[in-house]
């Protein structure tokens, strides 16, 4: 005959696995945070301008570095002008309301920034904005 004994349930929570997961996530975020910068390093000129409203979609950003190379959005690899025009034209066809901004390094020749803007106009962009760093003057 079997004896029926009531087993008491253990109500303790083992938190060691949760701490392990938390530490792994912390390490992952510490390693990836420096990689989340916006594409190539560009020193923007300073201007007293109002920032864009945050309620709109993220813009397409074309960067021109100090040596005149073109970059699209957060890419760290330069892109050829023809490829840039094709990719921007495709993005604009998908969403015509999306804005396009040019991040021109303050040390780059003005003509290279203008060439990027002309390239964007030929790709079908109706409005092109210029990015600057905000100054308090």
Ordered by where they begin, the domains of the chain are: 46-134 (3.30.420.270)
* 3-state SS, residue 133: strand
> What are the tens digits of pLDDT across the range 55-107?
677 888 999 998 889 999 888 888 999 999 999 999 999 988 888 999 888 88
User: Is pTM, for the whole model, over 0.75?
Assistant: no
Distance spanning both ends of the chain, measured CA to CA: 91
Residue 126 has what DSSP assignment?
Answer: S
Confidence of residue 16 (pLDDT cuts 50, 70, 90): confident
pLDDT of 36 strictly over 70 = no
The pLDDT, as a whole number, for residue 57 is: 79
Confidence of residue 127 (pLDDT cuts 50, 70, 90): confident
C-alpha triplet 87, 90, 95: angle, nearest 5°: 125
């Amino acid at each position: 005959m079997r004896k029926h004994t009531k087993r008491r349930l253990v109500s303790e929570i083992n938190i060691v696995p949760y701490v392990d997961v938390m530490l792994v996530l912390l390490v992952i975020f510490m390693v990836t945070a420096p990689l989340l910068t916006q594409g190539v390093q560009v020193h923007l000129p300073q201007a007293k301008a109002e920032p864009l409203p945050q309620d709109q979609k993220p813009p397409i950003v074309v960067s021109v570095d100090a040596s005149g190379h073109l970059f699209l959005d957060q890419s760290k690899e330069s892109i050829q002008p023809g490829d840039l025009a094709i990719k921007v034209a495709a993005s604009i066809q998908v969403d015509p309301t999306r804005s396009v901004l040019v991040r021109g390094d303050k040390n780059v020749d003005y003509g290279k920034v203008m060439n990027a803007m002309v390239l964007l106009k030929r790709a079908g962009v109706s409005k092109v904005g210029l990015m600057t760093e905000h100054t308090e003057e």
